[in-house]
Structure formats: structure tokens, C-alpha cells
Amino acid sequence: MNYFMPPQAPMWQKESMARAWSHRGGAIGLLVLLAALGTGPWTAPAASAASRLERERCSFKAPRGDRVECFVLTVPENREQPDGREIKLKVAVLKAKRTAGAEPMFYLSGGPGDAPLVAIAPGADALAEGDWWNETANIRRKRDVVIVSQRGAGGSTPNLDCFGPRTEPAKARRRAVTEEQEREILTRCRAGLDRRKIDLGQYSTPALADDVADLAAAMSLPKINIYGVSYGTRWALEVMRRHPDLVRAAVLDGVYPPQVNGEQNEAEIVKRAFERLYADCAADPLCRERHPDLRATVEGAIEAANARPVDLTLQLEDGPQPVQVDGTKLLMVLLHMMREGEAALIPETVAALQKKDVRLLKLFAEDLETSDGGLLEQNAQQFDGLYNSIECRETWSAVDRAARRRQIEATGVYGLNARTSKSPAFCPVWRVAPAPAAERQPVKSAVPTLLLSGTFDWLTPPAWAREAAKTLSSSRHVTFRGQGHGVVVQDACAARLRDAFIDEPDPKKPLPCRADTPPNFTAAFERARNLP
């Protein structure tokens, strides 16, 4: 299960692929740093002795009335060897409107391998490209928002990406890579990391959690709030486990706890998401009338595409691109719609496809290819070194592969997406030791925690949040009926909940809005009918 699948827009939570970044700046003293960050007269917790924070020139341009400050955090690759290799992490602080000394919110991105401080388009401003200023405006009324790069991903040095940035020119090169060539690229990349003596065992969730603690200490912050999305929730939970006194409040959106193996039951999770859609359609008068046997329509469309792929021409930034959509790719598009909170449009999409009307399919295929790729490439690609390091170490090493294969076979068309995973073949190439069993234990914490889920989130289903909440003694789990993965950018109520909880972290406080609105099949029908 690839966790490079966050909400489509805005891009401030979008898990873009890793990219390289060069750093520039000079050291600043602790007193200057305290004044710059406006953190108030707090006592600094002890940081890793080998860690340091240095100011660098910002490449971002804040809107009128807003401010951003940029830094480089230097940490040891291996904290047990503080005199060894250093890692440099890009940090951006989106300043509060007023300096009130309130504990800042740290954003922990997903992936693993997200690079929120690196623009997708060459020469673009990542914060503007990702709509960060608008999406954090309410939080920044009195709190700073702190964004830190993941070690090993874009915005960090070293960057473990094996293919380079996923810019438009690089996309064209990726499309031509065969499966055999991909394995060769990863093999050469892994050998190159060995020659540079990069210790991939240090690119792990616990190490990322300690990076957050070092950053908080360097900023003289005794308490922080954390907001994680997708894999960022596992990162956040590890911060709560390893640094229990640091976190004031946590919001986890699309929860992926360490005791859950994201790959083991992917096919069954996908099937359950579709069964939820079938049940919701049957309960809705209009959807039931228009699609009396939605299950047969969906499964039939996927099987028909397997037998005879659908020819599309996608209009992309680098021009028109032909693609043949077989059953696996059709399922990918439908899952993309679920992920983006567009499950209500799936019935209209597959019904139109039966009539040779591909407009809706084309619309969401273009959206998927623009955001994540995968339709035009010859094979499902896995070039991101940090993703491989963490997922091979923490997930695939514990998968019962025989049971997984049996489940894929038993779930029919719903197992097609799980079949595309390359981890069983490529994790042996990447060669990282399995995570110790202790890291897979549930996180026990009394930190006030808000867990958010979408009913149609097949990447991090609501059941995983319920599992995590069992050992979070001061927590609340809210599921949004009609939404997918990363509900804060899909539902205004979810955004209100996040902001209100960070302001007053009380899990028992009444909700300010409703989360139980079902999929709107009537609105979906109108959108489909009015499609040009």
C-alpha cells in the first residue's frame, strides 16, 4: 500500500515526491533565535549535543501581512555516533499574526518521503504552490506553524531519492523505464549509498521522531502541538511515545498506527470500501433508482477493461498523452476518486463508461496522473529511497506474504491494486534490517489527541484509528461519512475540528459541526449531467 496518496488539493498536505534542495545560511546565537521565533521566556529542553539550528535565506515569499522564517536543522545521522555523518533538514516557520507565545503547531508530512518545502514546478514557491498560507490562516492567528523536512527526503541532505525530482522532464523519463531497468536503478542506487557509507538503518520513524524533539529543543519549546497526515500520523505517534512530555496536543488525520501493517490486508480493505459505497447507494433513493446493481456495474466495468482496455488521451502539462486503461488502472482511478472524497461520483463514472462515455473517467485519470502518476508509466515505480527504507524496515519485513497472496486471489477485482506492489521484489534489493518488535507495539499516551478518518479512506481506514485510540487515554475519533484520505482538506467541518482542538484540546467538548453527512449522490448526478 503506497502512502504517497494524500488529498489532491490543496497541495500543502499533498505528498509530493522527494526532491533535492541546496541550503544557504549562517549560524545564529540562541538569544537571536529566541527573539526571531518569538517563543517567550521558556526554559529550553536539552537538545542532542550534536544538533544545531542555523538561519538560512528564505526562498519563499509570504503574502502581504504574513511572515516566514527559514532555518537548517543539523542532526547526527546516528545519535549514538554524534561525531559521525550529519543530516541537514530544511525548516520553515510560518509566523503567527501576533506574538502571543502560544505553543506552535508542527506539521508532520506523510509518505514516507513527502517534501512539503520543495516545489513541484521548477522555480515555484512551495508554500504558495501548496496553499499553505490560506490553510493555516486560522491556526496562525496566535500560533506559529513549523514545517520540517523528513530526513532522506526532498529538503534534506542527504536525499535518498534514486531517480531525481518528479518534475515534468523527469516524468517523461520515468514513463520509459521498464521493470527490469527499475530493479537495476535501485540496485545501483543502493550500492551508491553503501559507497557513501550512508546508514539506511538510521532513516526510520524513531529517528524522525527524535529530529522533531531536537528541533523543538533548538527552538526552546518545552511544548508543541503536532498535526500529522497519513504516514505523518505514525511519525506523530512515535514522537508521543519517545518524547511524552513534549506534546501538548495532537491531531492525527488518516491514522496509521505502528501496530497496523498497511500491506497485509490491502485487498480486503479495498473491497470493504466498495461495499460501503454499494450500501450507501442502495440507501439513497436516487442512486438506488439509477444504479440498482452498482456492484455488478463496477465489477463488470473492471473486468471489461481487463479484457479490452479503454483508450484515453490525457491532456497533461507536457501535452496530450495516450494511455490504455485496463482493469488495474481503472481500479486505480476509482480508488483515487474515493481517496479525494469523490466516491459519490463513482456510480456515474462506471455507468457512463458502459455507454462509451469516458468524460468522467478521463477527468479523474488526468487528475491522478498529474498528482501521483502511475497510469502512463510502464510499471508501478518505487524509486524513493526513504519510502523503501521505512516501509521495507517497518512493514514488509512483517508481512505474511502467503496469506496476502491468498487474500488477493479471494477478493477478485478488488485485489488488482495490491498486485502492483513491488515491495516483495525490491525490499531484498534495498537491504534494510527489520524493525524490532517493540516498535510495532501500540503507543500508550495521555496526550489529548483528535483522530480523524474518512469512511472511504482505503489507505488508512477508520478501523486503524479505532485501534490506535484504544491506548490513547485522552482521545476522540471522528469519522466523516462521505470523505476519503486526509479529511481536513476535504471537509470544512474537519478543518474546524482541527483548529478548535489545537486551541482547546478537550476530547469531550461537543463537536462544533456535523461529520455524519452521507455521500451526496444527487449533487454527483447533477455534476455528471452538466459535464461539458
* Distance between CA atoms of residues 434 and 204, nearest Å: 11
Per-residue confidence (pLDDT) for residue 16, from 0 to 100: 31
Query: Nearest 5°: phi and psi at 75?
Result: -130, 160
Cα–Cα distance for residue pair 448/54, rounded to 1 Å: 32
Backbone angles phi, psi at 274, to 5 degrees: -70, -35
Spell out the CATH class of 10-158+203-259+441-507: alpha beta
- Of 71-80, 377-386, 412-421, give the lowest mean pLDDT range: 377-386
Residues, the chain: 532
- Per-residue DSSP letter, 140: G
Kindly report the number of other CB atoms within 10 A of residue 508's CB atom.
7
Mean pLDDT calculated for residue range 186-208: 96
The full set of domain ranges for the chain reads 10-158+203-259+441-507, 266-379
Kindly give, in sequence order, each residue whose CB lies less than 8 Å from that of residue 414, ignoring residues fewer than 6 positions away: 267, 268, 270, 271, 274, 331
The per-residue pLDDT for 39 is 36
The whole-angstrom separation of Cα 225 and Cα 239 is: 11
Residue 112 phi, psi dihedral angles, 5° rounding: -65, 145
- pLDDT tens digits, residue range 440-452? 999 999 999 999 9
Q: How far is CA 77 from the centre of its chain?
A: 23
* Helix or strand run (H / E) with residue 451: strand 449-454
Once rounded to an integer, what is the mean pLDDT over residues 327-343?
97
Q: Which residues have CB under 8 Å from 196's CB, separation 6+?
A: 158
Share of the chain above pLDDT 90, in %: 78
What is the distance of C-alpha 478 from the center of its chain? Answer: 19
235 class by beta-carbon count within 10 Å (0-12 exposed, 13-18 middle, 19+ buried): buried
**pLDDT tens track for 366-415:** 999 988 888 887 655 677 899 999 999 999 999 999 999 999 999 999 99
Which tens digit of pLDDT belongs to each residue from 217-227?
Answer: 999 999 999 99
Q: What is the pLDDT of residue 157?
A: 96
Q: In Å, how far are 68, 70, 83, 150, 404 from 59, measured between CA atoms? A: 10, 8, 30, 18, 45
Across the chain, mean pLDDT equals: 88
What's residue 77's pLDDT?
Answer: 97
Lowest mean pLDDT among 15-24, 92-101, 502-511: 15-24
Output the pTM of the full model. Answer: 0.90
Q: Report the alpha-carbon distance of residue 297 to residue 340 in Å, rounded.
A: 21
Of 167-181, 354-368, 392-406, 424-438, which range is least confident?
167-181
